Structure 1
């Protein structure tokens, strides 16, 4: 009889222990999931903020063939990890090429999107968005004349050596001033196209 009671008690304690293990396991799983979710939330929240910045930076952008083709300076640069973009204050971009007249671009702000195979959709080329009192200036060269473009937005494609905009622009040359909406300029072949609403005022040469 005592043996039967002992066996029954053992079974009861084993059942209680099993229930306790299940309860502890459930609590551990809940706590782990809760903490993991909180960590994921904190990481996502943190990624909204810049993860690093550089003051008074100086950077050389290399072209696909390994030649230095753009020299970039600015007051400060921050990296935004969520979008993998660089935000630059007061950028100055100068082109380098022994075969062509260099150009210099100034702006109040720039956002740089680097090519990426990780992001969706993929970025197939570098794109620089320039904002606020953007100027593009090309000095007179052997095979080119002076040119200055003023606008509030400009897009630079460094690999293709192209600048373009759909905004209002002012084009200043030795021959006068031209106003237009939209522009496409290819520094490789020194070609510039004004897209619409073109109004020109020519200078009178003595």
Structure 2
């Protein structure tokens, strides 16, 4: 009886689990796209029919293992409730599944036009920008240039909160402030 128990224990330990047909185990998925898009445009609208966001790209690839969308040569246009237009471009963008976070990589530029005449256009550029859409934040751990009207600032990294209107520039920061009405 002990010999039978020992043989059963050994057999259970040395038999591979899963992997065969009909097995319920889950195999790790490969990082391969399950669909792709070419020269595409995707629009999303608010409940009242107002355009909220338009994403254009030369190519797009969805990866199911990470639930990310990779877009080559993206152009993202987003309208706030007040009608302010924000445009983001880069060589590549990586978005999470719900679009709440977008990483812009390579010649990244985010421009916010203001619907109010008294507020100048704001432009943030750098090699990498991380956008948090729901929180209306832009962060970068790499050097950035910020232009607001005629004023220009450069920093080693930054964090911008559009809702609180707070910009934090870190590292080596340089800036040029010009009076209104002058050109750079």
Give yes or no for TM over 0.5: yes
d(CA) in 1 for partners of 2:45, 2:131: 15
* Structure 2 residue 77 is the aligned partner of structure 1 residue 94: yes
The answer for unaligned runs of 5 or more in structure 2 is 1-14
C-alpha contact (below 8 Å) 1:100/1:188 kept by paired residues: no
- Taking the TM superposition and a 5 Å limit, the aligned residue runs for 1:53-72 are 53-61=36-44, 68-72=51-55
C-alpha contact (below 8 Å) 2:122/2:148 kept by paired residues: yes
TM-score, scaled to structure 1: 0.66
C-alpha contact (below 8 Å) 2:82/2:115 kept by paired residues: no
C-alpha contact (below 8 Å) 2:136/2:161 kept by paired residues: yes
d(CA) in 1 for partners of 2:79, 2:65: 32
* Structure 2 residue 144 is the aligned partner of structure 1 residue 169: yes
Match of 1:108 among 91, 101, 105: 91
TM-score, scaled to structure 2: 0.73
Three-state SS of the structure 1 residue aligned to 2:109 is: strand
1:182 maps to what in 2? 157
C-alpha contact (below 8 Å) 1:64/1:159 kept by paired residues: no
Where is the helix percentage greater, Structure 1 or Structure 2? 1
Q: Tell me the number of residue pairs that the alignment of Structure 1 and Structure 2 aligns.
A: 167
Which has the greater radius of gyration?
A: 1
Task: Supply the RMSD in Å over aligned alpha carbons.
Answer: 3.5
The answer for unaligned runs of 5 or more in structure 1 is 1-29, 116-124
* Structure 2 residue 110 is the aligned partner of structure 1 residue 136: yes
Deviates more, 1:148-157 or 1:173-182: 173-182
d(CA) in 2 for partners of 1:203, 1:102: 25
C-alpha contact (below 8 Å) 1:109/1:131 kept by paired residues: yes
2:21 maps to what in 1? 36
d(CA) in 2 for partners of 1:127, 1:67: 22
C-alpha contact (below 8 Å) 1:55/1:76 kept by paired residues: yes
